[in-house]
Structure 1
């Protein structure tokens, strides 16, 4: 692992940053407030190949790793255009399908995901399961030559723009009778599939939905991989989710810090820029340190994950999982502090639409909760990194 990114990675960052700058925070806010998605930016990013940098070249991707896609999302976020669907569609769903999908599933879905022309949502969270995925009650039972899916999900991002949803359900093991996780591709137009938008105070172009599966009939080829590989597929998808969440938070923290530094260098009180006062300079400097540390851990997590192939992903999941969880935790905390200090630096202007920081207070706070709460991250570190007894 190198602490200096390759020339190719740096060029990718520069290109994405240039693209996102043409849209910027004003574009993002207009879309969020009007209830629309970042369709123009998403489409152009897909056409330029940025959304599929982590996917196989044979399906239109760039042949890179999750570290490349994390760089894309970080630069989008740093330019004021974060999007959760970059976490969900190419990172989680694209990774799972490229590693475990059948050849037909890969041919059908991966080119669209790589180009951005097709978007996947990911459905694991349930109202009564919380952080305990073992309590998932959505089930899929064999029926003739297909499956019947029943259950519900909640807080599922981007279903309004998705062509299909990768659903985590449970199937019965024929030998033991025990339920085990399995993943299914469910096109959003499938009969019996219903999505209801959840009203949120969060101002974001990425909307949240509750999903209902009322005996949804699926063909046999909707099952991803083999029934017994469901847990392995989750390992393959959830670590990229945490890495991408860290990239989004790190980029968003950079955006807030840049706004604060620019303002502190220009705004004068008593004849000098307010950034000359240590009461503002030191907190901003501390945030710079915290953001860079979070970025380093994100890079480490991506390196560990990308170093493992499909055959060794289970063995690598512990090391990559530790780094991915730590990166997500560190970046979320840095983002909350960055936005808070940026608003404090700007004073009343911190809530003015011109500067785009007011709405970021809520979105930054979301990073402490999703895709995994900081308490569950600390549980993971306490148990797996420190060897303490499991507390839940």
Structure 2
């Protein structure tokens, strides 16, 4: 386990191996053409699974690498540094794999973790609702008992990759028989379940993964679909949200590295006056600032992952939120500056930087918005009064 941010030989070897895969499935030759056609990165996902990269955080008992979120974030960062970050890594092994690994039954672990580890199964995550947004306490998707079964009714929005998934880990709410209050609970819902329908959303960004609205109309599930306890899911839910933020930060940092590398390469080759444009401080200094800010965000991401893997849940939550904030800002700045360095060429399809800017911009909004992170830091880190 890494605490001082000096990586072990095994971690360095993992970086090199993932980087080699990223070079094979790079942004310009593989990812961007697939994204323009609206096709998922199936070949990359399959190969990453075969090489063991998708399951590095899953127990060896179920075919995983037995490592931690640090290593999974490492995988995501290195893939994204070649423009080949995998959105489904954030939800399938990071969120769902973590939650099932910690709270699932022996049968649930056996059924799902092996497949999540090698990529042969994909599970996505369903929490967001149109009328709830960042307020998860306002979720209206409900689960009620019917004998030994559960009946789910409600809707979800912005659910990534449902068309590629075998199941959705749905956050619903159950009624406490003593108080009548609704409490969050987690259910594994097969994508083939009767009563669940998906509708693709018309997004205005170039991405290989699609977003969906889900409608749950009296979806009947067996008792075995419940993950953990019916009234303990808030704790279980946060077990997956910290890894989500760490992996989101890793993807943003990787995209920032990709943009910076592209800008530096262009600045070292492009000559307009007597020397390359990279010799001019108007070009060099903004790129140097981007480098510094990416490295700072990366350090906070590594800290968050190390804290999470050590079992420090509160420390990890604070660091994960800060890492996600810093990584989003640094990534967007890197893409914007890379486009500016290229001048008009930065807006052409040949370089593909403008198309990536939309993807980088997502990091300010999801998986948690910049404003909600500032709320968290204000309240929990600074001790200021809660504003919401």
Q: Give the TM-score range, shorter chain.
A: over 0.9
2:12 corresponds to 1:16:
no
Contact kept, 8 Å, 1:235 with 1:317, in 2: the verdict is no
From 352, 357, 360, the equivalent of 2:353 is 357
- Give unmatched runs, 5+ long, in structure 1: 309-315
Aligned counterparts of 1:356 and 1:12: Cα–Cα separation in 2? 28
2:380 corresponds to 1:387:
no
Deviations 1:125-147 (A, max 9, x none): 00000100000000000011110
The range that moved more, 172-181 or 93-102, is: 172-181
Contact kept, 8 Å, 1:126 with 1:154, in 2: the verdict is yes
1:66, distance to aligned residue in structure 2 (A): 0.4
Q: Match for residue 343 of structure 2?
A: 347
Aligned counterparts of 2:39 and 2:335: Cα–Cα separation in 1? 24
User: TM (normalized to structure 2)?
Assistant: 0.98
Q: Match for residue 146 of structure 2?
A: 143
Aligned counterparts of 2:114 and 2:52: Cα–Cα separation in 1? 11
Deviations 1:212-265 (A, max 9, x none): 000000000000011122011111000000000000000000000000000001
Deviations 1:175-222 (A, max 9, x none): 222111000000000000001000011110111000000000000000
Contact kept, 8 Å, 1:298 with 1:324, in 2: the verdict is yes
2:373 corresponds to 1:377:
yes
Aligned counterparts of 2:133 and 2:231: Cα–Cα separation in 1? 23
The range that moved more, 6-15 or 251-260, is: 6-15
Count of aligned residue pairs for this structure pair: 385
SS of corresponding position for 2:189: strand
Aligned counterparts of 1:152 and 1:254: Cα–Cα separation in 2? 37
Q: Match for residue 264 of structure 2?
A: 261
From 326, 331, 340, the equivalent of 1:335 is 331
From 246, 253, 273, the equivalent of 1:270 is 273
1:371, distance to aligned residue in structure 2 (A): 0.4
Deviations 1:72-108 (A, max 9, x none): 0001100111221010000000000000000000000
Aligned counterparts of 2:59 and 2:349: Cα–Cα separation in 1? 41
1:10, distance to aligned residue in structure 2 (A): 1.0
Q: Match for residue 368 of structure 1?
A: 364
1:338, distance to aligned residue in structure 2 (A): 0.1
Deviations 1:108-137 (A, max 9, x none): 011000000010110000000010000000
Q: Match for residue 227 of structure 1?
A: 230
SS of corresponding position for 2:354: coil
Q: Match for residue 242 of structure 1?
A: 245
Q: Match for residue 116 of structure 1?
A: 119
Deviations 1:53-79 (A, max 9, x none): 000000010000001000000011001
Aligned counterparts of 1:215 and 1:4: Cα–Cα separation in 2? 51
Aligned counterparts of 2:309 and 2:232: Cα–Cα separation in 1? 20
* 1:189-338 aligned within 5 A: 189-308=192-311, 316-338=312-334
SS of corresponding position for 1:228: coil
SS of corresponding position for 1:67: helix
Deviations 1:258-310 (A, max 9, x none): 000000011001120000000010000000000000000000000000001xx
Contact kept, 8 Å, 1:17 with 1:75, in 2: the verdict is yes
- Give unmatched runs, 5+ long, in structure 2: none
